[in-house]
Amino acid sequence: MLKLENVSYRYKNSSVDVLKNISAIFEPGKVHAVVGPSGSGKTTLLSILAGLDRPASGNITVQDKDMAGIDLDQYRREHVSMIFQAFQLFPLLTAVENVCVPMQLSGEGLNKKGQETAKRLLESVGIDSDKHKRYPSNLSGGEQQRVAIARALSSSAKIILADEPTGNLDAANGKAVIDILKRLAHEDGYCVIIVTHNYEIAEASDVIFKMSDGVLAVLGD
């Protein structure tokens, strides 16, 4: 579970809070959507949730541990996985090798066991074995995003943070990706947080948060 209590944030040398007293609970087993227009503070919230920065004030607890006491690099390795709109796979690594990277960051994945785990994860997201050794440039957009999801699953993190995961996909592939994320949440117990400005995706989620001018409010459950 990821819990935010009165979290505020302002950029250095700025007197304006970009995030204003945000309180929210992101629960395992649910798909959460954070919607809002550009400039509303979604990216900043994303940075905080992804452990790329710390809040100026307030508390964030993850799995009942105060994030202030956790090293951010460790937080990103062990607690949260990110999926990006532009997939952000390593172009010079194959699909399997991309999925192995988070395991390697944790000191695993160099052996055959890691390779087998990666292949299994790829197949679980619908990437057949004949595509395991392909480079991202030889995969379709939908396939690349599935590889990115498989990579997100290869670490021990139980929180998946998706930044516009269907932004570069057509409707069919976008729906397929959302379905995978919903399955991960509902069947495998992941806490999925989707940051998007697409209200259709938000409506497919379990919980909808609206971000407006640095303030987060629950729209619907």
Partner 1 sequence: MNHPLAWLSHLFKDAYRSFVRTLLIIGFAMLTVLAIAYLQHTIRRSAAEVDYLFDNTVIFGEIVHGETLDANPRQPTMGVFVTQRTVDLFIDSGFVRSIYLEAGEPRNRLYPHNANIDTSTIVSELFRMINNDMILAINDLEGFITRNTIGTTAHEETDSRFTTDMDLVISFADGFSYEDFSFVASTSIPVPIPVIIHEHILARRGLAIGETAQLVSQSRDIHDVVIIGSYTVGPIMSAAMFNNDPLILMPLDALKSISPRDVAYVIVEFTIYSSFNREIPRVREVLNGYALRAGAGRVAPLLLMIYDDEIRLVLRPMEQTLNLLTMLYPIAFATLALLSLGLAVIMLLQRSKNAAIFRSLGATKLAVRVAYAGGYTLLCIIGAVPGMLITQFLLIDIDAALLVHIAIPFACAIVGAVIGAVIISARPPLELLQVKE
Nearest distance from C-beta of residue 198 to partner 1, angstroms: 12
Q: Beta strands 159-163 and 80-83: pairing type? A: parallel
Nearest distance from C-beta of residue 38 to partner 1, angstroms: 5
Smaller CB distance to partner 1: residue 25 or 84? Answer: 84
**Contact residues for partner 1 (CB under 8 A)?**
38, 43, 46-47, 50, 52-53, 73-78, 81-82, 84-86, 88-90, 92-93, 97, 101-102, 104-107, 109-110, 151, 155, 163-164, 167-168
The structure tokens listed for 193 are 């947080």
Smaller CB distance to partner 1: residue 23 or 104? Answer: 104
Beta bridge partners of 196: 35
Nearest distance from C-beta of residue 21 to partner 1, angstroms: 22
Smaller CB distance to partner 1: residue 155 or 173? Answer: 155
Nearest distance from C-beta of residue 36 to partner 1, angstroms: 12
Nearest distance from C-beta of residue 5 to partner 1, angstroms: 23
Nearest distance from C-beta of residue 32 to partner 1, angstroms: 19
**C-alpha pair distances (Å), 12 with each of 16, 53, 56, 86, 183:** 10, 12, 10, 28, 39
Smaller CB distance to partner 1: residue 17 or 163? Answer: 163
Residue 77 · residue 107 · CB < 8 Å? no
Smaller CB distance to partner 1: residue 25 or 52? Answer: 52
Residue 59's contacts (CB-CB under 8 Å, 6 or more residues apart) are: 3, 4, 5, 6, 7, 66, 67, 68
**C-alpha pair distances (Å), 38 with each of 41, 79, 81, 191, 195:** 8, 27, 23, 24, 11
Smaller CB distance to partner 1: residue 92 or 217? Answer: 92
Strands of 10-129, DSSP E: 19-26, 31-35, 57-62, 65-66, 80-83
